[in-house]
A and B are shown apart, each in its own frame.
Chain A
Amino acid sequence: MMLAAALRKEILLQWRTRSQMMAVFVFGAASLLLFSFAVGPNAEMLRTFSAGFLWLGLLLSSTLTLSESFHSEMENRALEGLLLLPSDPRALYYGKAIANWLQLTILGCALVPVMVVLYDAGTTQLLKLLLIILLGTAGLSAPGTLYAAMTAQVRAKQTLLPLLLFPLIVPALLASVKATSLVILGDPMQQSRSWIALLGAFDLIYWSLCGLLYGRVVEE
Chain B
Amino acid sequence: MRKAYGFIVLGVVLLLVGSYVGLFVAPAEEYMGQVQRIMYVHVPTAWNWMLAVLFAFGSSIAFLFTANTKWDARQEAGLEVATLFAFLLCCQGSIWAKPTWGVWWDWDPRLTSVAVLLFAFLGILALRQFVDDPQRRAVWSAVATIIASVDLPIVYYSVKWWNSLHQQQSNPNTVSSQFHLPLRVNAFGVLFLMIGFIMLRTRLANYRLAREMAMPPVVSADQAGELA
Contact = CB atoms under 8 A, between A and B. Distances in A.
Given A163-B123, A163-B126, A213-B146, A170 B131 contact: no
Contacts of B157: 171, 198
A11 interface: no
A148 interface: no
Contacts of A6: none
Q: How large is the interface on B (under 10, 10 to 19, 20 to 34, 35 or more residues)?
A: 20 to 34
Interface in A137-196: 143, 146-147, 150-151, 153-156, 159-160, 163-164, 166-168, 170-171, 174-175, 178, 194
A54 interface: no
A164 B117 contact: no
Contact of B127 (A150, A171, A178): A150
B217 to A, nearest CB: 15
B158 A171 contact: yes
B126 A160 contact: yes
Most B CB atoms within 10 A — which of A153, A159, A168, A219?
A: A168
B139 A164 contact: no
Secondary structure type dominating chain B contacts: helix
A194 B164 CA distance: 14
Interface in A54-91: none
B27 to A, nearest CB: 39
Most A CB atoms within 10 A — which of B130, B146, B150?
A: B130
A150 B126 contact: no
Given A167-B116, A167-B148, A198 B158 contact: yes
A203 to B, nearest CB: 11
A194 B165 CA distance: 13
Interface of A: 143, 146-147, 150-151, 153-156, 159-160, 163-164, 166-168, 170-171, 174-175, 178, 194, 198, 201-202, 205-206, 209-210, 213, 216-217, 219
